[in-house]
Amino acid sequence: MILPRIARRDAPFRASLVAQRRTCRVHRRCEAGTFASKLTNVNTATETVMASDRYLALAIPCKVLAIFWSVVVGLFIFRPRWGLNSVADAQVIGLAILSLIPNRTLVSTRVTFLAFLLLSLFPFRVFFAADAYRGFGIDSVIGMLLAFVLFGPLPLSLALSRRRFLRGKNFLFA
């Protein structure tokens, strides 16, 4: 930009004009950057809300399925034979209690999340044994799929709720 000719005696005025124009250019760039960063923040916030809604949309059905399988089916439809296997009795009652406790309580700290996640993964201990895969056939595959359908929703619900908790979302149950 060409400045108008000013006499040498007006040099301080000229310097202030140059400084003012520089300030305006910098200010315009800053405003543009701020506007772009605001757009970026809006997009990021929208994506975060959409991601948390996805987590919510998955966490609630998983929690409901966990309650249904652990409490309704586990305790009332297929009545356990109490006293035959104390580990199985403790597992049935533990999973029923874990599925009824709100997830916000279960995932509030790292220690509680890890402890309750390991407790909810207890039914999967069979899959970690090496001899479980020796006579592997179609009936074993069906049994594994059934175990994942029955016992998988509770750990999945806990993991999704933990993700939502880490993002700072407030939630009541799942």
Full-model pTM: 0.62
User: Is 7 inside a domain boundary?
Assistant: no
Q: What's the chain's average pLDDT?
A: 75
Cα separation, 98 vs 101, in Å, equals: 5
Range of the domain at 99: 52-166
Residue 83 phi/psi, 5° resolution? Answer: 95, -15
Q: Does 57 map to a domain?
A: yes
Q: What is the pLDDT of residues 11-30, one digit of tens each?
A: 555 666 555 655 555 444 44
Closest CA to 124 of 98, 111, 101, 143: 143
Question: Would the pLDDT of 46 be above 70?
Answer: no
Residue 132 lies in a domain: yes
Q: Is residue 65 part of a domain?
A: yes
Has residue 118 been placed in a domain? yes
Number of domains the chain is built from: 1
pLDDT of residue 21: 59
Q: Which amino acid is at 121?
A: L
Q: How far apart are CA 62 and CA 156, in angstroms?
A: 7
pLDDT band at 36 (very low <50, low <70, confident <90, very high): very low
Helix (H, G, I), strand (E, B) or coil at 24: helix
Q: Please check whether residue 111 lies inside any domain of the structure.
A: yes
Asked if residue 162 is part of any domain, the answer here is yes
In a domain, 173, yes or no: no
Question: At which residue do the structure tokens 């060409």 appear?
Answer: 2
